[in-house]
Amino acid sequence: MLKLECPFCGLADIDATSATSCSRCGRGLVGSLEDPYGWGLASDVQTEAGPIDAARVEAHSARAPAVAPVTAVGFWPRMAAWGIDMGAIAIGVLMFANQLIFVSPGLFGPFMLWPAALLYFTVCNKLGASIGKAALGLKVMSVDERPIDWPRATLRSIFWLVGLASLGLGLLWIIWDEKRQGWHDKLSGTMVVKPDRV
């Protein structure tokens, strides 16, 4: 196996058959077909490495697949998604309360609605979309493009309830916010997007 050194930072023992960038400095290492790693290899070293496979070089030099652009989603599509979600939560709560024979669903159901909403939205935030968002092709993502972890998903759900409890001001914030973020988005570092078709 041919091992080379990065000409930019000096990292040694780079596998020339599989590496396309330096793991230390991140600089691209793909050059021309004659010198696929751009290191100005001596002809005897290239001979030792064997003939250059054009298909392999092309595969290594291929860029990562383009990510479809996304558009921040405004208030009304999100309201439609919330309507679907709240309907799903209400049906789930009533079905669960109905199973408790000793408790009237009419009395117990309303007390379960908000804890159920907190749990539902936390799980959905972690997954990236609720039933309503998935139905409308929307997605929750972090602004730093990292996966949403459980603490962030929980924080987003809690502040969604706070935004709703503040006479909806935290949710209405989406209307005039430049990035289309409600309080719960801003405080948890998330946004709701719709992937654009390429």
Give, as one character, the DSSP assignment of residue 28.
B
- Give, for all 198 residues of the chain, the pLDDT tens digit: 456 666 666 767 766 566 666 676 666 655 444 444 444 444 444 444 455 555 554 554 454 444 556 788 999 999 999 999 999 998 888 777 666 655 555 555 567 788 889 999 999 999 999 999 999 999 999 988 788 999 999 999 999 999 989 999 999 999 999 999 999 999 999 999 988 753
pLDDT of residue 61: 47
Bridge-partner residues for 14, per DSSP?
A: 4
pLDDT of residue 195: 80
End-to-end C-alpha distance for the chain, whole angstroms: 40
pLDDT of residue 197: 53
Beta-carbon contacts of 98 under 8 Å, excluding residues fewer than 6 positions away, are 105
Residues 9/39, Cβ–Cβ less than 8 Å: no
Which of 34, 75, 36 is closest to 176 using CA atoms? Answer: 75
Beta-carbon contacts of 28 under 8 Å, excluding residues fewer than 6 positions away, are 20, 21, 38
Q: Which residue has the tokens 């050059």?
A: 31
Bridge-partner residues for 193, per DSSP?
A: 72, 139
Which of 73, 127, 173 is closest to 119 using CA atoms? Answer: 127
pLDDT of residue 95: 79
- Give residue limits of the domains in the chain: 1-64, 70-195
Phi, psi of 12 (to 5 degrees): -100, 170
